[in-house]
């Protein structure tokens, strides 16, 4: 089974439709030992196809429009955070304490981009808030990787020991992740078929008129909701006022969206007003983190029958790490990817945060497919994805390795990927002058760019337009 067919099958799609995708292959795009380019192509390809399918339903078309996935556009979009320039300034991707470190018996990877995660890491290591990288290195050099992993997690921070693929496969969480469906799909109620306003004209915006509550943070969740915004959805991102997002990351993933702050502990009534007319809720916090606010997937669909809820996690909902925080860089280290991509005994990394971006496009595709199914069958939907499960697909730990076989539709072999130039654009806005990566989704008469640039974090009211 080709990669695109595998992903489309996981989304529950018509097996004949992948033949509507044309792929443009470019050597040199996303080079890696693992088949990153094939995974990225598949994730974007099925997302474009899901958008075209929903667009066909809403526009009353006889056939699903043809989709096109170009390795150059995909490779550029998968490192969109590196291509972003704000008034000519390049953003900082990782903070000084977010990196691999040598330990007494191996390596550990930490994530400390957010101030509260940095503080918890330093607390776990017995260091003060003014500690520097040399201080952290000295402490870690005298401790075992697993000891650090456990201690930092207990303090609410993020650190993961480097594991080989075999060690991750033997770990209970590795086995749990590999056993999951690539896309978990569940019908929750018997709500009537969703009535979607007919579309006409171009560009064809499959998600036009739909309201999406975005409760996500870096990076996969915001990529998914950025994609829904591209397709016409009114996406309202909600953040806690005491947990501001990193400004550069917010800009990169904020295209087409609005941004508001709302304290869920005190603003419950306002959130319920938003939920009452929402079509989709996307959450990207660790499993269980939002339950105390009544925002579990099940609770949301009970209060809003017919709702589509999309949940994203790092490790999956079940297993010993089911409630843990995680990020792409940590998942790469835990699952053996960093060993496979490393050299000379040092951990390596994928050429992009491909687990984040790939899972983000799959998550958007799952939402689009759920909306299409609802237009025929009705019923609320819950879809769930996990970075560790996407990693299992990339590495073959799920038994369905990314194959790179002939694609199901037309195939073009184009010039090698020589850089992002053709897939970059510029725009102005309230944040400043932006250079950014264009969206990689392409289907007949579909949008080519977002309708508006990102806005400053928390600058909109928490209400629908």
Which active-site residues does the annotation give?
Answer: 356
Helix axes 354-377, 36-59, angle to 10 degrees: 20
Q: What is the distance, to the nearest Å, from the Cα of residue 209 to the centroid of all Cα atoms in its chain?
A: 23
CA–CA separation, 81 and 85 (whole Å):
9
Cis amide leading into 319 (omega within 30) = no
Q: Which residue bears the tokens 């030992």?
A: 33
CA–CA separation, 465 and 447 (whole Å):
21
- For 234-275, where are the E strands, in sequence order? 234-239, 258-261
Answer yes or no: are the C-beta atoms of 60 and 447 closer than 8 Å: no
Which has the closest alpha carbon to 433: 86, 83, 81, 84? 86
CA–CA separation, 159 and 100 (whole Å):
9
Sheet with 258-261: list strands edge to edge.
Answer: 184-187, 381-386, 308-313, 280-283, 211-215, 234-239, 258-261
CA–CA separation, 355 and 334 (whole Å):
13
Q: Which two tokens mark 239?
A: 């953040």
CA distances from 127 to 73, 106, 137 (A): 44, 21, 11
DSSP annotation of 343 reads B
CA–CA separation, 442 and 227 (whole Å):
12
The Cβ of residue 346 has, within 10 Å, a number of other Cβ atoms equal to: 12
Q: Which residue bears the tokens 């194959």?
A: 403
């Amino acid at each position: 089974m080709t990669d695109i067919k595998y992903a489309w099958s996981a989304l529950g799609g018509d097996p004949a439709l992948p033949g509507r995708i044309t792929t443009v292959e470019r050597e040199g795009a996303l080079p890696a030992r693992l088949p990153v380019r094939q995974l990225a192509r598949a994730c974007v390809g099925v997302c474009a196809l899901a958008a075209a399918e929903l667009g066909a339903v809403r526009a009353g078309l006889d056939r699903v429009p043809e989709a096109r996935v170009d390795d150059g556009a995909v490779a550029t979009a998968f490192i969109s955070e590196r291509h972003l320039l704000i008034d000519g300034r390049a953003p900082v991707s990782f903070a000084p304490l977010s990196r691999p470190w040598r330990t007494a018996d191996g390596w550990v990877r930490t994530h400390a981009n957010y101030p509260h995660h940095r503080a918890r890491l330093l607390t776990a290591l017995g260091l003060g808030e003014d500690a520097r990288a040399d201080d952290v290195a000295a402490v870690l050099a005298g401790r075992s990787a697993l000891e650090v992993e456990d201690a930092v997690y207990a303090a609410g921070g993020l650190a993961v020991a480097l594991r080989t693929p075999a060690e991750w496969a033997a770990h209970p969480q590795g086995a749990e992740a590999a056993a999951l469906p690539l896309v978990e799909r569940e019908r929750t109620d018997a709500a009537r078929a969703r009535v979607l306003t007919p579309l006409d004209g171009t560009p064809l915006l499959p998600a036009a008129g739909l309201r999406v509550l975005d409760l996500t943070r870096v990076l996969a969740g915001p990529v998914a909701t950025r994609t829904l915004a591209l397709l016409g959805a009114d996406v309202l991102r909600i953040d806690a006022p005491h947990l501001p997002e990193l400004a550069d990351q917010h800009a990169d993933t904020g295209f087409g969206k609005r941004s508001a702050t709302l304290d869920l502990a005190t603003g419950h009534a306002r959130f319920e007003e938003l939920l009452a007319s929402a079509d989709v809720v996307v959450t990207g916090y660790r499993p269980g983190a939002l339950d105390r606010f009544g925002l579990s997937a099940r609770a949301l669909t009970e209060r809003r029958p017919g709702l589509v809820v999309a949940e994203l996690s790092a490790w999956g909902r079940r297993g010993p790490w089911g409630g843990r925080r995680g990020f792409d860089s940590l998942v790469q280290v835990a699952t053996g990817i960093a060993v496979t991509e490393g050299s000379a005994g040092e951990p390596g990394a994928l050429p992009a945060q491909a687990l984040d971006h790939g899972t983000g496009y799959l998550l958007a595709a799952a939402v689009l497919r759920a909306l299409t199914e609802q237009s025929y069958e009705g019923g609320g939907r819950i879809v769930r994805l996990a970075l560790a499960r996407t990693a299992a697909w990339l590495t073959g730990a799920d038994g369905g390795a990314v194959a790179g076989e002939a694609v199901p539709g037309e195939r073009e072999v184009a010039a090698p990927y020589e850089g992002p130039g053709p897939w970059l654009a510029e725009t102005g806005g309230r944040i400043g002058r932006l250079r950014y990566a264009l969206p990689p989704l392409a289907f007949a008469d579909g949008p080519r760019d977002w309708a508006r640039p990102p806005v400053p974090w928390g600058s909109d009211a928490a209400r629908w337009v």
